[in-house]
Structure 1
């Protein structure tokens, strides 16, 4: 079948669609990335002080977590309808809704990361004269980064998916193409936009994973040392038995367990 034929036949996979609509796909992808990035960035800026408030004032922890969880349970159509009088049919409407949805994930993971910091590390820093602000930025946040970055990755992937819902107001990035294609059952456009959305989520997650590894090099260093230590006994056993002889690991355990056998 010719390239033009796949469009006429409404095939799922159609190279001619990708060539003829490449600019449309590019524009939708750029809008999708922009809405996602702005939403996650604002969500992180809002979630951080909320998490600090909930941690420093235990009385606020319940209301903060309860409110963010409640916001997450509101259906997207209802959320956008509630925000419509304030933002109109604009990208701000979609971004605000996505920010509110991201709070429950970000707040909980920031709190979990800060709570996972060993109390010994805090006491040692206070003993060195660290004030609250310096303690937070130089001790607690670096140690909380793995949990914080895990929450950021989840929130980002979730936001990539939820951005498509913005198509109900014409600001959904790739979601606009999916909605338009579903109306006419344009298979190639549905598949192309859906695959691009999945690829965006995967790429965003991998990028944030790379950032996490750069910011937490000690996690890789510790794992590497543990791995080398785990491999060392096996190399020692092979060196002790070049021809297949020598004591086996079972013999070594028996000797360690029963010193009398070793003497005998």
Structure 2
């Protein structure tokens, strides 16, 4: 395959590729948002509860080891074909990263800072939101960025369950031995990943400034 053939494929199929890119990005965004909505509160809930923490992280770790295609095959009879199945699978894969980074961030606060906060009369809730949370922000952001990029890559499997996305040209290209389709889909997945990562990096920097962690 030549570079000219790849350009020709983009030129003649740009509308379809644009639609697939939008599907892929939306699917990834929804999965990441749900992962954060579930994983962040769970991480807070597990703080200071080592037995429950070990059980939750072990369970999430076991789910993470299940091959992605096998997980989709398990979910299809339950949730059917479509985006819902893919989102559920992506969320299950992302929970370990989100929860673990939340816990790492919250437990990384130096003991002397916690003692000082208690010494000036802050209650546990105030210590959590005024001391632990700002210092844990880099861990939160790092976990979200890792989860986001992973979700974008794994979302290519959505094509296997009829949910669209950029896995469609990739797997069609493999079946047809058409490298232009494979490379086109791969390049666009990479582009979405870069944009997601840059957007999350900018959001992290903005939050750090607002919380006084970075000036």
| Structure 1 and Structure 2 fold alike (TM over 0.5) | yes
Instruction: Say if 2:169 and 2:184, in contact at 8 Å, map to a contact too.
Output: no
Match of 1:244 in 2: none
Partner of 2:138: 146
Aligned residues: 212
- Mapped to 2, the partners of 1:134 and 1:31 lie a distance apart of 41
Bigger radius of gyration? 1
Q: Distance in 2 between matches of 1:129 and 1:219?
A: 22
Contact 1:72–1:104 at 8 Å: present in 2 too?
Answer: yes
The match for 1:68 is 60
Cα distance in 1 for partners of 2:96, 2:136 equals: 17
Note closer, same or farther for the CA distance 1:70–1:203 as it changes in structure 2 (3 Å cut): same
| 1:1-264 equivalent positions in 2, closer than 5 A | 11=2, 13-14=4-5, 15-217=7-209, 220-221=214-215
CA contact (8 A) 2:44 2:103 kept: yes
Cα pair 2:21 2:165 within 8 Å, conserved: yes
Unpaired runs of at least 5, structure 1: 1-9, 222-264
Q: TM-score, normalized by length of structure 2? A: 0.91
Q: TM-score, normalised by structure 1?
A: 0.75
Q: C-alpha root-mean-square deviation of aligned residues, in Å?
A: 1.8
Distance in 2, Cα, partners of 1:76 & 1:175? 14
The whole-number CA distance in structure 2 between the counterparts of 1:97 and 1:172 is: 15
Instruction: In structure 2, list runs of 5 or more residues that go unmatched.
Output: none
Aligned equivalents of 1:33, 1:137: Cα separation in 2: 32
